[in-house]
Chains A and B, each alone.
Chain A
Amino acid sequence: MPNLKELKNRISSVKSTRKITSAMKMVAASKLRRAQDLAESSRVYADSLSFILSSLAGNTKNSSDLPEILTGRENSKISLLIINSSDRGLCGGFNSNLFRNAKNWISEQQEKGKSVKIITVGKKASSFYRKTDLDVISNFDDLNSNDKQLQVSEEIKNKIMELFENNEIDEVSILFNKFVSVITQEPTYQSLIPLSNEEADEEVTDTSNAVFEFEPDKNELLEYLVPRNFLTQIYRSVLESSASEHAARMTSMDNATRNAGDMIDGLTLTYNRTRQAFITKELIEIISGAEAV
């Protein structure tokens, strides 16, 4: 028969766990709203920028006129992957999904004969990849404020521009958890070098009726636009990832709170049964003692 004292302790410990998880859930919910707002309001800028870039690139007939940093190098050998993880745990499968996905991608690249370098964002990724034999170029963490997110994006942008110019990398992709809804986050790749034209394709109809004049000339504009586009895309992925993180944490903490509730119910039931059994046992002892006299 379980010990009453032990059961009582167990119940109170699960109760305090439930308090913590439900508090974390509420914190995540309020942070999620802010992160989601940020991700959505930054989308306007990112969309306009990629529209401008694609109409600029689309305007140039001969793609060999475009700089390498847009079109990518032929025979690319070295891919860089930027992995957006979280700084903290307790957010369900958020990070493990991402790392599993990255692992597949990396082995795919290696099969193609490319070597892979990595930039990690968030403490979870940096501690995960430290243990592997992959080439981690740099880590960025503590992305706890919006200013910091922007600053980190800027640093990453400078880093990739420098690496590309020194021929240390030929391709760049970002991996992040895309915020689909509060319950779904999808690990997503986005190619920075070469420039992915997904969005360009969608807006072809829009560009066709407006032929833009450019000032200063295209090459000078591209020089300004390309780094700006990297920054915006990286910043956007960081924001998406942070919205996804809070959403994932909210869902998993909600589940944890519910599980704790179920557990408390079960334990309370056992506790009451055991208590009742003890009382019955004591009564029987008293009665049989009295009968014996």
Chain B
Amino acid sequence: MINLKVVSPQKVIFEKEVEMAVLPGAEGDFAAMPNHSPFISSLRPGQMVIMSANKVDESFFVSGGLVMLKEKVCEVLVDQIESLSDVNSSNYQQSKTFQELEGNDTALGTFEQVVNNPPYK
């Protein structure tokens, strides 16, 4: 298990032990698992998922940020994050992320894409 800690500039969003987390790194998606080599990367807008037993447990949209990966700890510094369990293709335009991303075409485009057709299901 790896300790996944998701932090926004305002607060710690959540912190929990997970089996595996897949993150949208700037140069491609990568999975954070225990004993990964120390690694720092920026994030592109995309989908972040928490997995256990090869199934997606939880799914989020992140609008960008940074990740610092150590042996047992994965710290994700996000700009904006939204859980995709309560956002779907019919109501995403009312979501907080949608409103905050207005004017940011790439991130907003990715958000729409992720909501309508998430890469990890």
Q: Which A residues fall within an 8 A CB radius of B?
A: 38, 41-42, 44-46, 48-49, 51-52, 55-56, 146, 150, 210-216, 220-221, 224-225, 228, 231-232, 235
Contact = CB atoms under 8 A, between A and B. Distances in A.
A45 B40 contact: no
Interface residues of B, number: 20
A48 B69 CA distance: 12
B26 interface: yes
Contact of A213 (B39, B66, B75): B39
A34 to B, nearest CB: 12
B121 interface: no
Contacts of B41: 214-216, 221
A41 B10 contact: yes
14 contacts: A38-B10, A41-B11, A41-B12, A44-B7, A44-B11, A45-B7, A52-B68, A146-B10, A212-B40, A212-B68, A214-B41, A221-B40, A221-B41, A224-B66
Contacts of B70: 210
Contacts of B8: 45
Given A41-B12, A225-B66, A213 B40 contact: yes
Q: When A and B form their complex, which 6 residue pairs have the shortest distance between CB atoms, in order from nearest?
A: A41-B11, A215-B41, A210-B38, A212-B38, A212-B40, A45-B7
A52 B39 CA distance: 10
Contacts of A42: 9-11
Contacts of B97: none
Interface in B56-77: 66, 68, 70, 75, 77
Contacts of A210: 38, 70
Nearest to B71: A210
